[in-house]
Amino acid sequence: MKPSSDIARLLEIMAALRTPETGCPWDLEQDFASIAPYTLEEAYEVVDAIERGDLADLRDELGDLLLQVVFHARMAEEQGAFAFPDVVEAITRKLIRRHPHVFGETGTLAPEQVRALWDEIKREEKAERRLAREAMGLPSETREAGFLGGVPTALPALTRAQKLTAKAAKVGFDWPDPDQVIEKIHEELEEVKEASSTGNRDRIEDEIGDLLFSVTNLARHFGIDPETALRRTNAKFERRFGAIEQALEKQGRQLNDASLEEMEELWVEAKLAERDV
């Protein structure tokens, strides 16, 4: 087979990889559950390429992510559930339906009106899916019921916390002022201190979870994505720690040879150097 820009060739390659006896042994033994971690990993690789501003990598990573969609669709087709064209049809139908101000007769809308219309259409779609599943003899809901039930549990914890609080805020369950969230963070930090004095690991974990949840809530109030903020800090930590390592190497030393005080001094130097750039 030759490479091609035609999606049909990608589907053919995936079908060949999954063909019994002549396909790839590794691909053949995979199922939805075993592939799911790779799907998440590829999505993160896309985000990483975007944050690094590397468009060459972004092209490749988007291809890897597309492969995951094709892989899942192929396995579903083998089970007689659906195929790749059904996936495309479903998303095109959804996009057209959720943008009546572009493809329908709604007319021009303000951003706030678009968001309100989007939520209304999503509620209609959820009700329709429930009826369709019942007609097929399937459980009406595969996720937890309730107002917050639609927030996927597989999301990274920080992202899910943000989405949970954002959804609750839509019905008025929210701190109206960021300063109140900051007060809550101080309160949660004190509870972490109290828990740490008990030595009870479960209680400490619970209180740290509350603290992280509150910090995530604060990020949402400022319109900041907590995952993006933490990735940025991770990169900053990695960069500055690398500066410590490089400084020690110039001295003919390794990390294990330096004291904490020496590493902290080099950390401050790396921090100041970044500010001067």
**Domain assignment of residue 93, yes or no:** no
- Phi, psi of 70, rounded to the nearest 5 degrees: -65, -40
Q: Are residues 187 and 247 in the same domain?
A: no
Domain encompassing residue 265: 228-276
What is the C-alpha to C-alpha distance for residues 199 and 104, in angstroms, rounded to an integer?
61
Q: Are residues 8 and 22 in the same domain?
A: yes
Q: Are residues 237 and 265 in the same domain?
A: yes
Q: Look at residue 183 in the predicted model and tell me its pLDDT.
A: 97
Q: Are residues 26 and 69 in the same domain?
A: yes
| Long-range contacts formed by 255-264: CB under 8 A, 24+ apart | none
Q: Look at residue 140 in the predicted model and tell me its pLDDT.
A: 62
Q: How far, in Å, are 3, 18, 21, 34, 261 from residue 13 at the CA level?
A: 9, 9, 15, 20, 57
Q: How far, in Å, are 167, 214, 220, 249 from residue 238 at the CA level?
A: 34, 25, 25, 16
Low-confidence ranges of the chain (pLDDT < 70): 1, 106-107, 139-145, 277
Rg (CA), the chain: 25
**Domain assignment of residue 119, yes or no:** no
**Domain assignment of residue 90, yes or no:** no
Q: Are 164 and 152 in contact (CB under 8 A)?
A: no
**Number of structural domains found in the chain:** 3
Q: Look at residue 143 in the predicted model and tell me its pLDDT.
A: 57
Amino acid code (one letter) for 20: P
**Domain assignment of residue 50, yes or no:** yes
**Domain assignment of residue 126, yes or no:** no
Q: Are residues 64 and 6 in the same domain?
A: yes
Q: Look at residue 168 in the predicted model and tell me its pLDDT.
A: 93
Overall pTM surpassing 0.85 (yes/no)? no
**Domain assignment of residue 128, yes or no:** no
Q: Are residues 170 and 239 in the same domain?
A: no
CATH number of the domain encompassing residue 204: 1.10.287.1080
Q: Are residues 16 and 55 in the same domain?
A: yes
Query: Of 67, 82, 97, at which residue does a domain stop?
Result: 82
